[in-house]
Structure 1
């Protein structure tokens, strides 16, 4: 199974990217968010984390077509898999839904902001309520991952992203609310300190409080 693909971006179409790897050109479906992020990188090398799925209707003896779906960050891919667990959101709909940064979508879900969620393609009031009901307690780490380190660095996933996500969960376990936990981590990031471990980060968070 292909879990990551690296090659030259030949085209960035409305729903897919064409990536040249040696003698082969791969068609990789992408969300609107990813399309906007890569559209200016035609002719350059890019790497996408990938998911596989089959498209078609075997019940009606239709043809099952294997597809690749690509993401710039593994955390975005994990969020995609999570949102697909909501009843009524399949792969194709989820591709359209993720038209905004994942941290913003996750934050809206966490705040139960159904009005904001209805601004996403294909999401009406009823579906927004369903998303909040199903995912509100599951998206805190996603809101942190992009709202914290990546929002400042603008770079790809790093080991520090995992540390800050673990710190967030640890602070929640210690009784802090999501907003307070994010605020403390944002202050730590703004200080320029780069913790080598979760323990070091926790100590720095409380030392600066």
Structure 2
């Protein structure tokens, strides 16, 4: 069973990356937020991923799901303990930092969790009922522990938001909370934005 891989990213699509490790190319599913962080790095960077190895009778072909931090993998394993959430749904839902999702669980913010892709109000309530009180250690990692705004900056394009968040945080040095505020403000003034490049332009036209 594979638990950890380190190598160079050769390619990436909407929900996976191709990692070259030990002369072998591994296709690894990653969350939209993790993908944005990985793809924001230079191609020469050695990426270190903690791997969740998923295989079942219904899914006999092994699926590798990667996380940049061990704690993110631990949170993911808690997340999929909720009866309505499997590994595939969970990884696609993680469009925001783990610390923010955990904070929403601890603050019982159904409206925010419901806006994660594939979740919805009923599943959000199940997440809180199952995990409330179990995610405090992850929520403490959130840049701002105050309750999060339930407004989703771009429910129709969470991948774009995740990619721009990764650039603002990892390349430009903004905090996660500051990045979310800038993105939200830009999208409120320019709701027709559909690409990461246009969103970044709008943010800096506002003087961010």
Q: Deviations over 1:146-178 (max 9, x none)?
A: 448xxxxx89xxxxxxxxxxxxxxxxxxxxxxx
- Residue 34 of structure 1 deviates from its aligned partner by 0.7
More helix as a share of residues: 1
2:36 pairs with 1:36: yes
Residue in 1 aligned with 2:127? 131
Count how many residue pairs are aligned between Structure 1 and Structure 2.
145
Residue in 1 aligned with 2:14? 14
SS in 2 for 1:11: strand
- Residue 42 of structure 1 deviates from its aligned partner by 5.3
| Structural mapping, 1:1-209, within 5 Å | 1-41=1-41, 43-44=43-44, 45-54=46-55, 57=58, 64-147=60-143
Relative to 1, partners in 2 of residues 1:51 and 1:35: Cα closer, same or farther, differing over 3 Å?
A: same
- Residue 23 of structure 1 deviates from its aligned partner by 2.1
Which structure's relative contact order is higher, taking Cα pairs within 8 Å and 6+ residues apart? 2
- Residue 142 of structure 1 deviates from its aligned partner by 0.4
**Contact 2:9/2:43 (<8 A) preserved:** yes
- Residue 55 of structure 1 deviates from its aligned partner by 5.4
TM-score, scaled relative to structure 1: 0.65
**Contact 2:53/2:62 (<8 A) preserved:** yes
RMSD of aligned residue pairs (Cα, Å): 1.8
- Residue 56 of structure 1 deviates from its aligned partner by 5.8
TM-score, scaled relative to structure 2: 0.65
Tell me the distance in 2 between the aligned counterparts of 1:18 and 1:56.
Answer: 25
**Contact 1:9/1:42 (<8 A) preserved:** no
Unpaired stretches in structure 1, ≥5 consecutive residues? 58-62, 149-153, 156-209
SS in 1 for 2:140: helix
Tell me the distance in 1 between the aligned counterparts of 2:75 and 2:34.
Answer: 14
Q: Deviations over 1:24-73 (max 9, x none)?
A: 1111111111111111235222110111011562xxxxx71011110000
